[in-house]
Amino acid sequence: MNSITIQPAAAVRGVITVPGDKSISHRSIMLGAIANGITTVRGFLRGEDNMSTMHAFRAMGVDIDDDGETIRITGRGLHGLKEPGDILDCGNSGTTIRLITGLLSGQSFFSVVTGDKYLRKRPMKRVVEPLSRMGARISGRNDGTLAPLAINGGFLKGVEYQSPVSSAQIKSSIMLAGLYADGETRVSEPSLSRDHSERMFRHFGASLDVHSDGVAVRGGFELTAREVTVPGDISSAAFFIVAALITPDSELLIRNVGVNRSRTGVIDILLAMGGDIQLQDEREVSGEPVADILVRSSRLKGIAISGSVVPRAIDEFPAICIAAARAEGVTSVRDARELRVKETDRITAMANNLRKLGITVTETEDGMDITGSERLLGGTVDSCGDHRIAMSLSVAALVASGAIMVTDIGCVATSFPTFFPLLEKVSSK
């Protein structure tokens, strides 16, 4: 199990870009595979999670070419996927397994999906239940609630589904099944989760209506191949935004970051904490808002975080916890129960690790209270096999009183293979 030791830094400075958005990269392969024609994707994230999606579609007969610059997907049309000869391994990727299960529910063949030891513990009932209501026959471990899942698809009917949680994976899984269903499929959620599927469905010409209370997809319409340019991932940028905010004498420009409103909760939260963050040159690329983000060192204060901003920042809480650990006063996080079913239980993982660094943290069932401190201790912390825990703790090391060793860092390759060299490049000792 590999680890890294990171020394405190004097400043974080420079001009950087971060790799492509993970959510948009997944969706570009999925829609490209079932569209008619050749879809080209630039800025695609070649992290392990997205490679799992790519391998799964290749295993279903889709020709996907990668020249290192551009990905070219030869779409097979709505009904052109082939029965895979083996189990589809989704690795660590919740997005791959949940979205692909929706898509496979619409196929008239048999398939089995699974993943690594972390993914096999994550809840699948949230997609199995609505997809079964649409007519898919899905079985799996623990009464169909855990992977591996075996899917007998085909003959779906449109349903109206009110998701009890705000989750883009649930919404997108049902939308993908809805492309194959008879009639209209409607999904609503308590508050808006990331809407990349809605935007990309439209980009590929799907028959889709977005309402204030959800989205409606009509089945049976073919998609048309498109060009997709993937912006930098705000979830990856978040580690560098926090790094520049908490480290003295810092100024960092992060170019070409996706700033879709359903993803910018982290910016709203850090601004409310007193962060000096500016969005520059806002523009739209392939139907997604993009900007350059300028960040300077700031004195942060604790705030209360709850409600509809939570799904808009759901992947950024590990990074936000580091900002909170350095803020003056208490930061409280509530309505964030979903953090307990991410790659690991991120509430417990961050609480335990922050305590090792001398920070006072109280866990609640749906969040935590973090009491900020000027003094963060050095020591050894553990990623718990979760890429975002590993990266946020590495950022904490920049302002600790001694070196921090982060163990089990191989997971970083799932979303940000170049994270450590980039962190090294911007931090001066």
Q: Which residues are catalytic?
A: 315
Shortest distance in whole angstroms from residue 85 CB to ligand S3P: 27
Closest contact distance (angstroms) between CB of 191 and ligand S3P is 12
Task: Name the 3-class secondary structure at 367.
Answer: strand
Closer residue to ligand S3P in complex, CB, 38/210? 210
Q: Is the peptide bond before 123 cis (omega within 30 degrees of 0)?
A: no
Rg (CA), the chain: 21
Helix (H) or strand (E) holding 18: none
Tracing tokens 């392990």 back to the chain, one arrives at: 48
Rounded to 5 degrees, what are φ and ψ at 295?
A: -130, 135
In SS3 terms, 282-334 reads as EEEECCEEEEEEEEECCCCECCEECHHHCHHHHHHHHHHHHHHHHCECEEEEC
Q: CB neighbours of 232 closer than 8 A, spacing ≥ 6?
A: 17, 18, 19, 20, 21, 43, 254, 255, 256, 257, 258, 290
- Chain residues binding ligand S3P by CB under 6 A are 23, 94-95, 167-169, 172, 193-194, 314-315, 338
Give the shortest CB-166-to-ligand S3P separation in angstroms. 7
Instruction: Give yes or no for a contact between 16 and 426, defined as CB atoms under 8 angstroms apart.
Output: yes
C-beta of 146: minimal distance to ligand S3P in Å? 15
Query: Which of the 8 DSSP states describes residue 69?
Result: S
At 398 the three-state DSSP class reads helix
Name the minimum Å distance from CB 102 to ligand S3P: 11
Residues in the chain: 429
Smallest gap from residue 315 Cβ to ligand S3P (A): 5
The tokens describing 66, both together, are 């990668």
3-state secondary structure of 55: helix
> In degrees rounded to 5, what are phi and psi of residue 154?
100, 160
For the packed helices 168-178 and 125-133, what is the interaxial angle rounded to 10 degrees?
A: 30
